[in-house]
Each structure stands twice: as C-alpha cells, then as structure tokens.
C-alpha cells in the first residue's frame, strides 16, 4: 500500500494515524499539493490528497472512502463498528470535523489563489464562523464524554484530535484552547500515542 500526501494535511494524517493504529503497513509518499502537483496527478487526476494505492494497483481517493474500505477488510477492528448507532455517532463526529476542515482549507486557499483585491473578507469571516461552529459542536460532544481519546479511541477521536492539531497550527485565533478546553484535552491524550507520533505533520 502507498499513502500519497503530507501529514501536514489533516485528511492524509487521519488516514496515516488510522493505518498505524491498526498496524497496517504502508509506504508514505510525501508529495505536496503546492509543489508536486504533477506527481500527485499521476495518482489522482484531480490532484487531491490523500490517495491510497492498494496492492492490486487500485487508487482510492477521499479520506472517508479510503478509511471505510480499509476498515471493512480488518475483522474485529474497533475504530468503527460495522453497523448500529455507535457507527452512526462516530461517522457524524467525523463528518462535522471534516466539514470544518474543508472550510479551514478554503480559508487558507483564498489569499493564495486570488489576487489581494479579489479576497472578500466577509466571506472569510463567514468561513471562520463555520469552523468555529463545528468546533463548538465537537466541544459539546467532548464535554459529555463522547471523545475519550487514549487507548479507547475510535475513528471519531482520531479524526477530531488530528483536526484540532491542524487548526491550532493554521488558525490559532479560531482553535483557541481556552474556548475549547475539552478538544485541547483530547489532543493532549492522543498526540503522545505511538500512532500519532508516527505521523508528525511536516513543517
């Protein structure tokens, strides 16, 4: 298996941490969407990461679809139950997190992809509000004990912890640990674990 993309991407990192957690071996191809677009296109014509290249040569895209297909092949894995309410709960937490991350990526791309006079501040403000609303939803879940982290982690814990680390790096004014103390606590419990340590975001 080859995982394409940098751990600086929260989408790539959630796949990497999950593979490490499950003990699934893979080669990491560290390609940047900023500098290695042509090389990434060889794996995904849309030039998006993550991509997971399977042993039979199939190329999977999108972190959620990748994780779904990998987890399905591992009997007894405990990151995501195969059915039932707990599966729905975990998938919903992951969806809130990846939706917030999509908005954060838009905020980062706006000034990079547009000339300064075309950057529309009210739009950026509304995106920041959406990220903040997503974090507030997750903080509520964590406050009620829904994100224990540590050895009992599920795909929800991994995804939220990875997302939190990314947001504190890229937009600390939004991901404020005073405002979201339970998310900061989850991150503190998860980041020292071996699977997380093995997937450090590149500078």
Alpha-carbon distance of 114 to 94, in angstroms, equals: 30
CB of 178 to ligand GSH, least distance (A): 26
Alpha-carbon distance of 166 to 7, in angstroms, equals: 10
User: Applying CB under 6 A, does 62 fall inside the site for ligand GSH?
Assistant: yes
User: Applying CB under 6 A, does 168 fall inside the site for ligand GSH?
Assistant: no
Pairing of strands 27-29, 2-4: parallel
User: Applying CB under 6 A, does 97 fall inside the site for ligand GSH?
Assistant: no
CA dihedral 97, 1, 77, 88 (to 10 degrees): 30
Residues 12-31 that bind ligand GSH (CB under 6 A): none
User: Applying CB under 6 A, does 170 fall inside the site for ligand GSH?
Assistant: no
User: Applying CB under 6 A, does 93 fall inside the site for ligand GSH?
Assistant: no
User: Applying CB under 6 A, does 105 fall inside the site for ligand GSH?
Assistant: yes
User: Applying CB under 6 A, does 11 fall inside the site for ligand GSH?
Assistant: yes
Q: 22, 32, 54, 64: which one contacts ligand GSH (CB under 6 A)? A: 64
Alpha-carbon distance of 60 to 65, in angstroms, equals: 8
User: Applying CB under 6 A, does 63 fall inside the site for ligand GSH?
Assistant: yes
Q: Which is nearer to ligand GSH, 77 or 106 (CB)?
A: 106
What is the number of helices (H) and of strands (E) in the chain?
A: 8, 4
Q: Interacting stretch for ligand GSH, rule CB under 6 A, among 58-66, 81-89, 143-151, 177-185? A: 58-66
CB of 32 to ligand GSH, least distance (A): 9
Dihedral sign of CA atoms 37, 42, 44, 50 in order: negative
Q: 4, 49, 70, 127: which one contacts ligand GSH (CB under 6 A)? A: 49
CA angle, residues 37, 109, 18, in degrees to nearest 5: 70
Alpha-carbon distance of 127 to 105, in angstroms, equals: 10
Q: 33, 106, 143, 170: which one contacts ligand GSH (CB under 6 A)? A: 33
User: Applying CB under 6 A, does 176 fall inside the site for ligand GSH?
Assistant: no
Q: Where are the strands (E) in the chain, listed by range?
A: 2-4, 27-29, 51-53, 59-61
Contacts of 52 (CB under 8 A, 6+ apart): 1, 2, 3, 4, 15, 26, 59, 60, 66, 70
User: Applying CB under 6 A, does 9 fall inside the site for ligand GSH?
Assistant: yes
Tell me which residues touch ligand GSH (CB under 6 A): 9, 11, 33, 47-50, 62-64, 98, 105
């Amino acid at each position: 298996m080859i995982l394409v993309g940098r751990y600086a991407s929260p989408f790539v990192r959630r796949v990497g941490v999950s593979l490490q957690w499950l003990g699934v071996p893979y080669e990491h191809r560290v390609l940047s969407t900023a500098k290695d677009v042509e090389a990434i296109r060889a794996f995904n014509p849309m030039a998006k990461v993550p991509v997971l290249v399977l042993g039979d040569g199939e190329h999977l895209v999108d972190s959620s679809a990748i994780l779904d297909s990998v987890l399905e092949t591992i009997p007894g894995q405990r990151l995501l139950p195969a059915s039932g309410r707990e599966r729905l709960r975990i998938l919903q937490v992951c969806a809130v997190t990846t939706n917030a991350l999509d908005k954060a990526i838009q905020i980062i791309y706006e000034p990079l992809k547009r000339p300064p006079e075309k950057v529309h501040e009210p739009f950026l403000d509304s995106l920041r509000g959406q990220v903040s609303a997503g974090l507030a939803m997750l903080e509520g879940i964590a406050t009620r004990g829904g994100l224990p982290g540590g050895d009992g982690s599920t795909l929800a814990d991994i995804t939220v912890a990875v997302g939190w680390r990314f947001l504190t790096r890229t937009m600390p004014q939004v991901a404020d640990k005073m405002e979201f103390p339970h998310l900061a606590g989850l991150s503190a419990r998860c980041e020292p674990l071996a699977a997380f340590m093995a997937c450090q975001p590149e500078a």
